Amino acid sequence: MIFYHNTLDYLAILSKWIFYYNLFTSVYIKKVGVEVDTKRRNRAMILLFTVISLRATSLLFATTGLSYMGPLTLNGYRFPLAAIILLFLFRKDIKKVDKQLVIHGSIIGFFFLLTMTTELIGLKMTNSSTTSFLENTAIIFVPLADALLVRRVPRASAIISALVALAGVGFLTLKDGHIGLTFGEFMCILSALAYTCAVVATDRFSKRDDPFMLGIVQVAFIGASSYILAMVVEGPSFPTAPKAWGVIMFLAIVCTCFGFTLQPVAQSKLSASISGLFCAFNPLVTAILGYTFLNERLGTTGMIGGVLILTSIVIPAVTPLIKKPQLAR
């Protein structure tokens, strides 16, 4: 079944989640006393939720794409196409790019290349829900890696999150009463580790360079590297099916051009804690869409694992919000 035949159903699901999430965050933020501009915050939240939801659909579209081509070939067409579009649209800003920005963008691009490649290899061998849950454990790894880099003890919330996530991964990979990673699940965890490195590198370099141009350079690096990797490993392959090109166009334009450039814009208007809460919705949206359009089932232990991983993602995001605000003197 091709899931994008049910576009109206998908849009209905998106609109409901946007409504309920806005309702939740409006009440919750007001309760803990966080003061932000409501109109600006609502626009940013809608934009961020839309970006994250659309990026969550990338796993569903990629699942369809993998039935027509290999994972490296899919990336080998998706990212060069996205790079060409971005470089054309922002060709006047290319003069802002210097040697340092190219080096930094290439480093981030390398980690994202590893993320996307291992993600698709894992997706070819397991369902989209499991892939998303395992990959998004990166949100827990980031504060641990950051603490390691600055040589300080991780926060208690980060340690608790890691333990809860570890339990979640255990339940998610539980088979016949035994914990055992399949090769696909192992690749998803490698994807999470690579994504952790990408996030940490982005955090470091975006403070020194133009973040928007940094994103374009990283997409260009991923595009060139993906194409070369696809040609060398999987060999020359040209998709002929219209559905295959529909998937490639959607992944390139919506998930890459849109997602890679507008997510930082949305997050710049929100606190890190609120952004972290939104990140928890990525695997949840993927699981819902996988269930609705791909007839994927996680099973009881898989659902428990998914809930534990979601909980581990939410813990570090909620912790700063539940602290009592300082009273003005």
Per-residue pLDDT of the chain (329 residues; tens, 9 = 90+): 444 444 334 434 444 444 444 444 444 444 444 444 667 777 877 887 787 777 778 888 888 899 899 999 999 999 999 999 999 988 888 887 889 999 999 998 999 899 989 989 998 888 877 887 788 777 777 777 777 777 777 777 777 877 887 787 777 766 665 666 788 889 988 998 998 888 788 878 877 888 778 888 889 999 999 999 999 999 888 888 999 999 999 999 988 888 776 776 676 676 655 665 666 667 777 777 777 777 777 778 878 888 887 787 777 666 665 654 544 44
CA-CA distances (angstroms) from residue 19 to 56, 85, 291? 18, 32, 21
327: left (phi over 0), alpha (psi -120 to 50) or beta: beta
Longest dimension (CA), the chain: 68
Burial of 240 (0-12, 13-18, 19+ CB in 10 A): exposed
In a domain, 120, yes or no: yes
Domains: count for the chain: 1
In a domain, 194, yes or no: yes
In a domain, 328, yes or no: no
**CA–CA distance, 197 with 110 (Å, rounded to integer):** 10
3-class secondary structure, 273: helix
**CA–CA distance, 166 with 170 (Å, rounded to integer):** 6
- Output the six-digit token pair for 29: 């933020």
Contact 85, 252 (CB under 8 A): yes
In a domain, 327, yes or no: no
In a domain, 299, yes or no: yes
In a domain, 158, yes or no: yes
Helical residues (DSSP H) of the chain, grouped into ranges: 7-32, 38-65, 71-89, 99-125, 128-135, 138-149, 156-172, 183-205, 211-233, 242-250, 259-267, 272-279, 281-293, 299-322
In a domain, 329, yes or no: no
3-class secondary structure, 322: helix
In a domain, 48, yes or no: yes
Contact 256, 55 (CB under 8 A): no
**CA–CA distance, 110 with 219 (Å, rounded to integer):** 10
b or e along 201-237 (b: 16 or more beta carbons within 10 Å of the residue's beta carbon)?
A: bbeebbeebbebbbbbbbbbbbbbbbbebbeeeeeeb
What's the domain range around 73? 3-322
